[in-house]
A and B are shown apart, each in its own frame.
Chain A
Amino acid sequence: MSIPQFTTLNSTAIPLPVENIDTDQIIPARFLKATSREGFGENLFRDWRYNDEGSPNKDFVLNNPAYGGQILLAGKNFGSGSSREHAAWAIIDHGFRVVVSSFFADIFKNNALNNGLLPVQVREAFLQKLMQAVQSDAQTSITVSLEDQTIRFAGGQESFEINAYKKHCLLNGLDDIDYLLKQKDRIEAFEQKQLKT
């Protein structure tokens, strides 16, 4: 098995300048009842995206036809709360490949990377600049290069961190389970050692 490869992405972005977006907002618990990974995009940001009676909330950015693209820009501390991987699946299912924020919650970051969604963590000042650029011109083009670990747009450029192993996996579309399955001998040796102590 494999995850979708990621090398370079050129795209417009959707701005969501809210801090502390928790995974209950990304996908509310009542939509977690499926037993497959597909179809969660429909309910991405459900309670912000739709009014109580089910009509689209015109004020929410995903319902604004001016905005589109495969990059989600979000405020600080994105993906906190529940460990539900459904949050990453919903974002991907909606068509995003990158989330840019000034801070990510740990479990969300792992879940994203395990599914080929790239979390790009930038300085708060850069995020604000980028957010403003996109808010004043929805056509602002952004380039994310995993190879160079950079994100750039007409107004600036910044590099981002990623663990070398995860970068290798994403560039090549490899997943962790394949790696672990090749470690069986070592794992069994560890179990033997553990039994003796």
Chain B
Amino acid sequence: MGKTLFDKIWDSHVVDTIEDGPSVLYIDRHLIHEVTSPQAFAGLDKRGIPVFRPEKTVATADHNVPTEDQHLSIKEELSRLQVEKLAANTVKHGITYYGLGSEDQGIVHVIGPEKGITQPGRTMVCGDSHTSTHGAFGALAFGIGTSEVEMVLASQCILQTKPKRMRITVDGQVRKGVTAKDIILYIISQIGTSGGTGHFIEYAGPAITALDMEGRMTVCNMSIESGARGGMIAPDETTYNYLHGTRYAPEGDAFFQKVEQWKKLHTGKDAVFDKEYQFDARDIEPMVTYGTNPGMGVKITGQVPQPEEIPGASRGSYNKALQYMELKPGAPMIGQKVDYVFLGSCTNGRIEDLKAFAHFVKGYKKSGHITAWIVPGSKKVEQQARQEGLEEILREAGFEMRQPGCSACLAMNEDKIPRGKYAISTTNRNFEGRQGPGSRTFLASPLTAAATAITGRITDPGTFHP
């Protein structure tokens, strides 16, 4: 019987399996950031052991960093100390570090792919749940906790129980105005925030393979929002073209030899999945969330659901969410007033996202009452946006580009949505307080964010006539 893509990579990285227990899985690349690594390094120190394979770990500072005046020292003391700790730990252990001021700095899940650290067939981990992003390249990538970060630093391996396999196929093609973000928000609204738990997802089908790498990353990024350990997409020409010429990809002939190996990384015809879902791309419209978890999404042309539409057991969370969001059952999503627009994060802070947003707002003006934060995912995205004239277009429309980092995605720096305010956000989580204490989040695509930024109210980018 044929193997799934997931099985091929997993099985070829098993060093050993404990009877009735987890496997020892070898990790090809380990990414770290300032928030989830200090206790792991402290653990190594306590044991008096070094990092086993420092050349296989790459570090960046992203969660805590300010998005203005990055050339100055970080104002907030605890944030500064945490970033300094990371810098010191990487020096001590000989780990490559892309810190503030480096031309390579950026959100960990944006820089891994753009530098070619992320490659098909690799196992990758990071102390961060959105490590699933890297699966877009046909890598086996998943988020881990700090104790596990310590395991990988100590041994380049992790003890892990093999998840089950799930395939989600999206047939047909999406219509204009529907983006990768809408596809994944739609999927999560259908399978729920625990629908993927215990599983590793492979996304397949024409609507998925038609996506560019940025779109594929957006889809894989939010796998964790369905509870899945990770998501992946088989590599193809789109993948190879993206990687060709990136810093860490093989050069010259070696690249094409690699491609021949990568071509074997796909699910066999008769391979079996533990669970399968099939969706039709034509059912997908621009999506927006109304509640406080990413599964609470509806078509933008829809309404806040009525209590009767919610299964009994979930009614409690639903009531709590509406109370927090101050929304009424049956209220239409289109036309809801918005105060903040946030374009950024490892979900939608890549160059194609900035491009889509900028082209949409070109020739219009930002609504007067909207505060907009446009935060590129990395220094490279920032530079490219400048070179390609996107910054100029944005400026003319009344938007300002900030400096790279996680920013208002989790509000660990100064970029916090104020209490009670509504934000339309291209990020991945609408949890209570996620974007700042008391903040209220509508998750949506860059196009929906752009249309909304112009009108000041939730607006369908497909039928936008200002």
A interface residues with partner B (beta carbon < 8 Å) = 1, 17-20, 22, 24-25, 28-30, 32-37, 47, 52, 75-77, 80-86, 88, 103, 105-107, 110-111, 114-115, 124, 163-166, 175-177, 179-181, 183-184, 186-187, 190-191, 194
Q: How far is the CB of B57 from chain A (nearest CB, A)?
A: 15
The CA of A82 and the CA of B294, in the complex, are separated in Å by 13
Q: A35-B42, A165-B22 are in contact. Are A83 and B36 (CB under 8 A)?
A: yes
Do B432 and A35 touch (CB < 8 A)?
no
- Tell me the bound Cα distance from A175 to B148 in angstroms: 11
B163 to chain A, nearest CB (A): 8
B contact residues around A86 at 8 Å (CB): 146
- Indicate which residue in B147, B159, B437 contacts A111 across the interface (CB closer than 8 Å): B147
CB contact under 8 A between A186 and B78, given known A24-B434, A36-B39: no
- Cβ–Cβ contact B431 & A84, under 8 A: no
Give CA–CA (A186, B25) in the complex, Å: 11
Across the interface, A83 reaches (CB within 8 A) one of B20, B127, B313, namely: B127
List the A residue with the shortest CB-CB distance to B37: A35
**From residue B79, how far is it (CB to closest CB) to chain A in Å?**
6
Which single member of A33, A47, A179, A183 contacts B412 (CB below 8 Å)? A33
Residue numbers in B under 8 Å from A191 (CB-CB): 26, 156
CA distance A24 to B151 in the complex (A): 24
Q: Give A182's nearest chain B residue, CB to CB.
A: B155
User: Which residues 1-58 in B have Cβ within 8 Å of A in the complex?
Assistant: 15-16, 18-22, 24, 26, 35-36, 38-39, 42-43, 46-47, 49, 52
Q: Are B143 and A85 in contact (CB under 8 A)?
A: no
Residue of A105, A124, A176 contacting most chain B CB atoms (<10 Å): A176
**A residues in contact with B21, CB < 8 Å:** 163-166
- Contact with A19, one of B15, B46, B144, B314 (Cβ below 8 angstroms): B314
Q: Which of A36, A85, A88, A165 has most chain B Cβ within 10 Å?
A: A85
B159 touching A176, Cβ below 8 Å: yes
Q: Select one of B20, B39, B148, B157 contacting A37, CB under 8 A.
A: B39
Q: For residue A175, give the distance in angstroms from its CB to the closest CB of chain B.
A: 8
A66 CB to closest chain B CB (Å) equals 21
Interchain CB contact (< 8 A) of B43 among A33, A166, A177:
A177
Residue B317, interface by CB 8 Å: yes
Given the interface pairs A32-B35, A180-B151, the reply to whether A106 lies near B198 with Cβ below 8 Å is yes
In chain B, what residue has the closest Cβ to A35? B38
Q: Give the CA-CA distance A104 to B79 in the complex, in Å.
A: 30
1/0 contact string of B125-169 vs chain A (CB within 8 Å)? 001110000000000000111111011001111010101000000
| Other-chain contact of B433, A28, A77, A107 (Cβ < 8 Å) | A28
**C-alpha gap A88/B410 in the complex (Å):** 19
Tell whether, in the assembled complex, residue B434 and residue A183 are in contact, meaning their CB atoms are under 8 Å apart.
no
Please indicate the chain B residues that have their CB under 8 angstroms from the CB of A19 in the complex.
313-314, 316-317
Q: List 19 A-B contacts (CB under 8 A).
A: A22-B431, A29-B434, A33-B82, A35-B38, A82-B410, A82-B429, A85-B127, A85-B146, A106-B197, A106-B227, A107-B129, A111-B146, A114-B147, A164-B19, A176-B147, A177-B155, A181-B49, A181-B154, A183-B155
